[in-house]
């Protein structure tokens, strides 16, 4: 029986090669980049959703301001409600056409009054060159207006009024809000009929 003085090396070295480490780091980097990209895109989408929601509220507010103006005209002429409606319709159609749209704002001494009186302090503002909406923040409570004291926003609002020849007691009011979303211009349009509720 022969005795061997040489032992077989059965011990294999354990560990990672440089190539394996590079592949692992690359895969990890791709996974992390995907998560970061998704988070950034989610933040962008949330911002766009916020802008669209604000635009929806501003467009609806335009309709509500016209409704308030109509009601104030009718109520101010308590002895003759029909005259109140006619005065509102005449003034709205004179100031808020497709050729010369308007917006409505609360009383503001820096704003030119168009078309005479302003019941409840709601004034027509000509929007031929655009009606940029400003934001006024005070005591944590902010609001949108057209005041020169406010901070300009990216929103503009245009209101147009159309009459129906066969229905003298109905006006169609359209409120359009536009804003920049990235490189494109977005808009929200709200349209509603106002009636002579008297």
H-only helix segments in the chain:
18-76, 81-95
DSSP state of 140: T
pLDDT in tens, 17-49: 888 878 888 888 888 887 787 777 776 778 888
Q: Which residues are bridge partners to 26 per DSSP?
A: none
| Contacting residues for 78 by C-beta, under 8 A, at least 6 apart | none
Between 181 and 115, the more confident residue is 181
Radius of gyration of the chain (CA): 32
In this model, does residue 176 exceed pLDDT 80? yes
In this model, does residue 75 exceed pLDDT 90? no
- The structure's pTM equals 0.72
Average pLDDT over residues 178-196: 91
Q: Is the dihedral of CA 186, 174, 73, 91 positive or negative?
A: positive
Domain boundaries, the chain: 19-195
HEC profile for 147-159? Answer: CCCCEEEEEEEEE
pLDDT at 121: 66
pLDDT in tens, 94-120: 999 988 999 988 755 444 444 444 455
Percent pLDDT > 90 in the chain is 25
Q: Are strands 132-138 and 102-105 parallel, antiparallel or unpaired?
A: unpaired
pLDDT in tens, 113-169: 444 444 556 788 888 767 899 888 766 677 888 877 788 899 999 999 999 877 888
In this model, does residue 52 exceed pLDDT 80? yes
SS3 106: coil
């Amino acid at each position: 029986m022969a005795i061997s003085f040489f032992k077989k090396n059965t011990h294999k070295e354990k560990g990672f090669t440089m190539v394996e480490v590079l592949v692992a780091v690359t895969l990890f980097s791709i996974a992390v980049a995907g998560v970061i990209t998704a988070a950034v895109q989610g933040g962008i989408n949330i911002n766009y959703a916020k802008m669209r929601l604000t635009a929806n509220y501003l467009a609806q507010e335009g309709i509500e301001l016209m409704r308030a103006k109509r009601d104030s005209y009718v109520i101010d002429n308590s002895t003759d409600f029909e005259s109140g409606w006619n005065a509102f319709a005449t003034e709205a159609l004179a100031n808020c056409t497709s050729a010369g749209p308007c917006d409505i704002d609360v009383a503001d001494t820096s704003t030119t009054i168009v078309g005479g009186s302003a019941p409840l302090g709601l004034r027509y503002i000509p929007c031929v060159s655009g009606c940029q909406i400003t934001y006024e923040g005070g005591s944590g409570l902010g609001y949108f207006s057209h005041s020169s004291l406010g901070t300009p926003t990216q929103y503009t609002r245009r209101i147009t009024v159309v009459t129906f020849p066969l229905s003298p007691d109905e006006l169609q009011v359209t409120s359009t809000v536009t804003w920049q979303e990235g490189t494109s211009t977005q808009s929200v349009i709200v349209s509603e009929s106002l009636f002579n509720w008297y």
